[in-house]
Structure 1
Amino acid sequence: MELPMNSNVRETHFDNGLKILTRELHNAPVATFWVWYRVGSRNEVLGITGAAHWVEHMMFKGTQKLGKGDVFKLVTRNGGVNNAFTWLDYTAYYETLPSDRLDIAIEIESDRMVNARFDPDEVASERTVIISEREGHENDPGFWLSEEMQATAFKVHPYHHETIGWKADLQRMTRDDLYNFYSKYYAPNNATVVAVGDFNTDELLEKLQATFGKLPRGADIPILTIEEPEQAGERRVVVRRPGAAPYFMVGYKSPRATDPDFYAMMVLAGVLGGSSGLAMGRTSPGRSSRLYRALVEKELSADVSVFYQPMLDPYLFEVSATARPGVSLEKIERAVFAELEKISTKPITDGEYEKVLKQTRTQYVYAEDGVANHGYRLGMLDVVASWRMYETFLKNLEAVTKDDVQRVAKKYLAEMNRTVGWFVPTNRGATNMPSANGSEKRRTAAGAKKSTKRKQAARRKR
């Protein structure tokens, strides 16, 4: 099953290397405009970890034309919304506006692609903001374990650190470090513009040529080809800090988005934890999924989730669960590994297979609602693989067999390939459960991890 609705995506290239994807949708007088830069925390080196995220912040601090905060004011005054986010593989900026105001987005993004000021006082001010942001994450147990898991799982590849960066680097980084990073990676030949909505493509391309087309091509950026050495055995990490509840995590090195095994891994994630569709990332808590039945229904854990996302390079297939009071992490671990062993040795059922495909189709279609969703998926997939993956996703998923699912489970969910993490609260009486009268807000460690690690590159208001 392919989606013919995507057949009108048009790809254009300018002489300065800028790639442009346009898709006309005329069902409402609105349009979304995205700029995706092929730079994220994977492009950082030790000493400047967190630079990609910090540069994102600085893009809202003014250019020669626009002052601090003017981007947000200009967009909202014209009935639109805007935001930005940084992830391991990319940084993205977008505006969604009434279609007759789309020129505003074009002017904003073409200006700050090359003219961001990086005023020293603003850099100093933002240092405080970003360190405070990191310290806020540090209040969540899931952040600490996630950070230690990445550093343990990846010894060579720059996926070994969180997007927020190490605190010592945030304290030491200079204005010149940030500006040099910006100058290297923010250029037309390292970006993809995505526009979706109510516009005429030919007219839009003329406007883009008159703005983005005049920007100078940047220096060619070498393709990052760092390969993580094959893991030679199980790795373990234990984090002991104050926290709400114990929680368990395991991560397995898994294939990148362009690997033929990617689609079988997506089905595997759906069977174990529920389908995420093309939302890409953490699965929804499917009550009929294997891990939900094995852990939550049996009252071993308060929750359970599976994470698998299309990435430029091999990353982690993760399972995490928050222990219920009185349940040991050893028991959680045994239950998780038992389910992973089953799916590695016995094919999934016809019912499980069909349910995952049905859920994915449904979520795929639901995600078609709204021009911003189109812009997000086209841009994200173009950075990690190809935007055409958007059109062929369901067809490739439906080509996966039950034997394929068992094969990839056996291949990737192996003891030699895993990193296991435990978060052990040091405070007495730690619990994740509500009080007897139900008035206490329930906040699990796994829930904290979802928010702090920003697995789906959660967008921040400016």
Structure 2
Amino acid sequence: MSRVIPLLTLALSAPVFAAPAAPDLLPFKATEKVLPNGLKIIVVPTGFPNIVSLQIPVQTGSRNEVEPGKSGFAHFFEHMMFRGTKEYPPEKYQDIITRAGARQNAYTSDDLTNYHTTFAKEDLETVLKVEADRFQHLSYGEDVFKTESRAVLGEYNKNSANPVSKLFEAMRDTAYEKHTYKHTTMGFLKDIEDMPNQYAYSKVFFDRWYRPERTTIIVAGDVEPQKAVALVEKYWSKWQRGTYKVDVPVEPAPKAALYKHVTWATPTLPWVSVAFRAPAFSEKQKDQAALSVLLSLSFGRTSALYKRLVQDEQKIDQLFDSTPNRVDPTLAVIGARVKKAEDTVYVRNAIMETVAKLRSEPVGEKSLADAKSALKYGVIRSLDNTEQIAGMLASYVHFNRSYGTLNNYYRVLDSLTPADLQAAARKYLTDEGLIVTTLSNGALPADIGELPKLAALEPKLNTAKIDLLVQKSALPQIRYKLVFGAGSAHDPQGKEGLAALTAAMVASAGSSERKIDEISKALFPLAGSFSEQTDKEMSTFTGTIHKDNWSQFQDIVMPQLLAPGFREDDFRRLKDAQKNALLLDLKDNNEEELGKERLQTNVFAGSGYGHPVLGTVAGLDSITLDDVKDFYKKAYTQGALRVGLAGDVSDAMSASLLKSLSRLPAGAGLAATPIPVGKMPNGLEVEIIEKNTRATAISFGLPLTVTRSHADFPALWLAKTWLGEHRASSSLLYQRIREIRGMNYGDYAYIEAFPRGMFQFFPSANLGRKAQLFEIWVRPVAPENAHMALRIALTELDKLVAKGLTKEQFEITRGYLMKNVFVMTSTQDQQLGYALDSQWYGTPEFTKLMRDGLSKLTVDDVNAAIRKHLSAKNLSVVMIAKDAAGLKDKLLSDTFSPIKYDGNKPKELLDEDQVIGNLKLNIKPEAVKITPAANVFAN
């Protein structure tokens, strides 16, 4: 159920300022009340209709894990809170959430755990009632506890494929001696592995920290404050205040610079991080806000160092900074991914040279003013839906349990001067507070661990007619989407990746007038963005800006589309970045997305959908800058374009956008692609990708001719939702594989492509396709359970195909979807994107399409569609495993698949396991192949 979400990275501290009061950043009137038991209530009417977001931040994070050997329990309880109570056991609780059409989740950070649910306003009392029950009466047995502990270990294993996660884990372990920030939110691995033995302590942890005086109830959206407060009082007032007190260990002052290297087992580019001790959050002091703004200016996309290392010298392909908001002193981090190991010392020194300069030279007034402007408009831009507003509040409320914290923080931000930033640099960017961490697969230069003194470093100086769809609203943030009919299905043979690289050159390589760094600097004070997304059939450019800055924004970004720079150095940089995204970010560092992408390419092999959008290694290697120019000239025409515009749009804005786009050449664009014909498997056809990994990822599916324009689309959408909706814990596969057996982190089903699924709650818009894939995604399981996990998933799918849904299952799922369709299309970006997709598919607006289609369905319609389009017998399967040969032997031998549980399980489940474990898959030897990971997406 969890996702660890970083909070906004700007915070503060230092002398109390005295300045004229700045206007509130949040324009809403909040009602606040503290109950006698200490519970804080904050009610915020947002003005958005129909939707309510309930956020419950608890002042309990990994910071509270003070006993040795007990790390990871704050995050663990984020999981356990979904295990139910005597009054509302998990299945009953999930039924209520489903009937509310809600999507819910939770996340844990260093300082808090936040539980959030977004639902239709009519269900407010019901949701408050069941939430109150689980906070006050959480109930679970030792067997359930042990099962969930294995799921938590599965989550750790999932994250272990990401080198950045390991880099931060090692950095924090090195930096801290006593404070609990020494471990990450997940906890130390040895503690996670020991969790099944900590049942008694889990009760102690919950009793200590889940108390009303540490908790805030945020109710935002279409609410009446007094009624909402009364409902909270009705169900939460009997919760008893706690008495436990503890002092989190104080970290001693640092004495010397520290260095730590992490050896990574699989291929990856080297990483270098340079961190310093940073101050705690404050809504009254200046230090952290000053330090955060300073590092953002110095290492962000508009910085001189970014231009030098990423664009000009192309030593690195990623540069980031982070100064998180934390209750106690934390770490401010600058990180870079280096293209060649021999350049790691050079990159480290370049970062430290920049740091040294910050201590001696103040930033300019204009640069600071631009940073403040970008932050202000950036926050306003994000407040386009109730859930986002409530979520942002939760990330600040937990500090002092006050609505005013965020507004106070931005008043501090407004007060910053160049002198404040320089003072923060001198105070915190010191040799004693320095922690350098590196990660690599191979050897780094011998002197990487010999850290220079900051004082000794001197920074090196660099000598037709276009139809327009308008969605007018009161939002001051303007957003437009330009959707061209040019996707990876149009890639010429041997030039796979060309469509994506061309779009990247348009959005990220500047115009003929300005280089990309100049554009980034110009956009920074406006908090504007212009980005691209490429898929199989379309490339989409999204521009977003506050209405106050419309004209200036258009003058900056439109030349990128109409007169791209097409510089050779940008071409090399972006081509390298795309190749790294294919080889490292997808293939080497992400088994889950790799499995899903490989399944797509296997099913549609031989068609335009038969390679990743990113391309292939050989295809990218063959692409030249002339290829990009030629593709751009043919693809980006007026006839290939669909345009959408949303927000508080004036007629002048619409006219100016159309006038600019009229400069595109006339013409229809690229020729239409044929409808791809997927390969229907004969039995189970398995590819095992051999890769050095802790866990085994599984994806399987078959081609679908059903798209949104097909009559059976609503029926299959309902079926996949019941079977395994993305990130929904109430769905069948999630319950059968993750919940009752604790085998992994999640199990989902799809009838539409969902790239980047492990990073998003809802799919992106503008991924229209002419053919789709039915897919089941079994998130990584322990290798010894891979055969059994496949058998379980196939068993549940076979039951669905053979028996269909019951009337009750159908009605519950349809009721959920009738409401949830509003939740999944609630943001400005989603609404605009889905509207353009409806044009592409030739269907009614998406919510109307789904609600009309769902309302007309019968359970017989759904079951007929399932039988017609789905199969549990003929499927393409992709598995990613370390011991590929051993897994192949198990699959072909069809031997019994045992499964071992840490706790006791009901006899009914054990009997079922015996049956499923003996299920004959009847896989033919010729239907199983092993592919080394190095060969994947090579050609």
TM-score (structure 1 length as normaliser) = 0.88
Q: How far apart are residue 326 of structure 1 and its match?
A: 5.2
The 5 Å alignment of 1:188-207 reads 188-207=212-231
The 5 Å alignment of 1:306-385 reads 306-325=321-340, 327-385=342-400
Distance 1:270 1:241, change over 3 A: closer
- 1:13 partner amino acid: V
Q: Unaligned regions of 5+ residues in structure 2, if any?
A: 1-21, 445-572, 591-758, 763-939
Find the aligned partners of 2:28 and 2:214 in 1 and give their Cα distance.
25
Q: How far apart are residue 134 of structure 1 and its match?
A: 1.0
- 1:80 partner amino acid: A
Residues 1:269 and 2:291 aligned together = no
Find the aligned partners of 1:69 and 1:308 in 2 and give their Cα distance.
41
Residues 1:30 and 2:51 aligned together = yes
Find the aligned partners of 1:70 and 1:355 in 2 and give their Cα distance.
52
Distance 1:250 1:378, change over 3 A: same
DSSP-derived class of the 1:320 partner = strand
Partner of 1:234: 257
Residues 1:172 and 2:160 aligned together = no
Deviation per residue, 1:135-193 (Å, 9 max, x gap): 22222222222111101111011100011111221222321111211121112122111
Find the aligned partners of 1:162 and 1:85 in 2 and give their Cα distance.
13
Q: How far apart are residue 128 of structure 1 and its match?
A: 1.4
Q: How far apart are residue 349 of structure 1 and its match?
A: 2.0
Residues 1:54 and 2:76 aligned together = yes
Distance 1:5 1:152, change over 3 A: closer
Deviation per residue, 1:387-439 (Å, 9 max, x gap): 322113332212100111111112111111111101121499xxx99789959
Q: 8 Å contact 1:256–1:311 — kept in the other structure?
A: yes
Q: 8 Å contact 2:341–2:443 — kept in the other structure?
A: no
Distance 1:197 1:223, change over 3 A: farther
Q: Unaligned regions of 5+ residues in structure 1, if any?
A: 275-285, 450-457
Q: 1:296 aligns with which of 302, 305, 310?
A: 310
DSSP-derived class of the 1:195 partner = strand
DSSP-derived class of the 2:37 partner = coil
Find the aligned partners of 2:211 and 2:202 in 1 and give their Cα distance.
15
Q: 8 Å contact 1:50–1:170 — kept in the other structure?
A: yes
Partner of 1:87: 109
Find the aligned partners of 1:248 and 1:169 in 2 and give their Cα distance.
28
DSSP-derived class of the 1:27 partner = coil
Q: 8 Å contact 1:114–1:183 — kept in the other structure?
A: no
Partner of 1:281: none
Q: 2:418 aligns with which of 379, 391, 402?
A: 402
Distance 1:4 1:40, change over 3 A: closer
Find the aligned partners of 1:129 and 1:337 in 2 and give their Cα distance.
41
Equivalenced residue count is 438
Find the aligned partners of 1:401 and 1:180 in 2 and give their Cα distance.
47
Find the aligned partners of 1:119 and 1:95 in 2 and give their Cα distance.
25
- 2:110 partner amino acid: L
Q: How far apart are residue 5 of structure 1 and its match?
A: 4.6
Deviation per residue, 1:233-257 (Å, 9 max, x gap): 1011011122411100121111111
411-420 or 390-399: which moved more?
A: 390-399
Deviation per residue, 1:196-220 (Å, 9 max, x gap): 1111111111111110012222x22
Q: 8 Å contact 1:2–1:392 — kept in the other structure?
A: no
Distance 1:269 1:195, change over 3 A: farther
Residues 1:260 and 2:286 aligned together = yes
DSSP-derived class of the 1:264 partner = helix
Q: 8 Å contact 2:322–2:334 — kept in the other structure?
A: yes
Distance 1:433 1:260, change over 3 A: closer
Find the aligned partners of 1:59 and 1:17 in 2 and give their Cα distance.
21
Larger relative contact order (CA 8 Å, sep ≥ 6)? 1
Find the aligned partners of 1:150 and 1:320 in 2 and give their Cα distance.
14
Q: 1:210 aligns with which of 215, 234, 244?
A: 234
DSSP-derived class of the 1:416 partner = coil
- 1:31 partner amino acid: V
Give RMSD over aligned pairs: 2.8
- 1:403 partner amino acid: A
- 1:227 partner amino acid: V
Find the aligned partners of 1:384 and 1:295 in 2 and give their Cα distance.
37
224-233 or 300-309: which moved more?
A: 224-233
DSSP-derived class of the 2:218 partner = strand
- 1:2 partner amino acid: P
142-151 or 418-427: which moved more?
A: 418-427
Residues 1:3 and 2:3 aligned together = no
Partner of 2:430: 414
Distance 1:412 1:55, change over 3 A: same
DSSP-derived class of the 2:582 partner = coil
Q: How far apart are residue 328 of structure 1 and its match?
A: 2.3
Partner of 2:38: 17
Partner of 2:150: 128
DSSP-derived class of the 1:317 partner = strand
Residues 1:441 and 2:582 aligned together = yes
Distance 1:117 1:31, change over 3 A: same
Q: 8 Å contact 1:324–1:433 — kept in the other structure?
A: no
DSSP-derived class of the 2:101 partner = coil
Q: 8 Å contact 1:83–1:460 — kept in the other structure?
A: no
Partner of 1:220: 243
DSSP-derived class of the 2:308 partner = helix
Distance 1:439 1:43, change over 3 A: closer
Partner of 2:18: none
Residues 1:102 and 2:124 aligned together = yes
Partner of 1:140: 162
Q: 8 Å contact 1:325–1:433 — kept in the other structure?
A: no
- 2:129 partner amino acid: E
Find the aligned partners of 1:436 and 1:359 in 2 and give their Cα distance.
26
Q: 8 Å contact 1:35–1:109 — kept in the other structure?
A: no
Distance 1:398 1:37, change over 3 A: same
Distance 1:421 1:440, change over 3 A: closer
Q: How far apart are residue 114 of structure 1 and its match?
A: 1.8
Q: 8 Å contact 1:252–1:317 — kept in the other structure?
A: yes
Q: 8 Å contact 1:32–1:375 — kept in the other structure?
A: yes
Q: 8 Å contact 2:212–2:240 — kept in the other structure?
A: yes
Q: 8 Å contact 2:219–2:228 — kept in the other structure?
A: no
Q: How far apart are residue 299 of structure 1 and its match?
A: 0.9
Find the aligned partners of 2:397 and 2:291 in 1 and give their Cα distance.
20
Q: How far apart are residue 305 of structure 1 and its match?
A: 0.4
Deviation per residue, 1:305-352 (Å, 9 max, x gap): 001121100101001110013542111101111111112211112332
Q: 8 Å contact 1:19–1:191 — kept in the other structure?
A: yes
Find the aligned partners of 1:185 and 1:436 in 2 and give their Cα distance.
45
Partner of 2:874: none
- 1:425 partner amino acid: N
Q: How far apart are residue 16 of structure 1 and its match?
A: 1.0
TM-score (structure 2 length as normaliser) = 0.44
Residues 1:184 and 2:184 aligned together = no
Q: 8 Å contact 1:35–1:92 — kept in the other structure?
A: yes
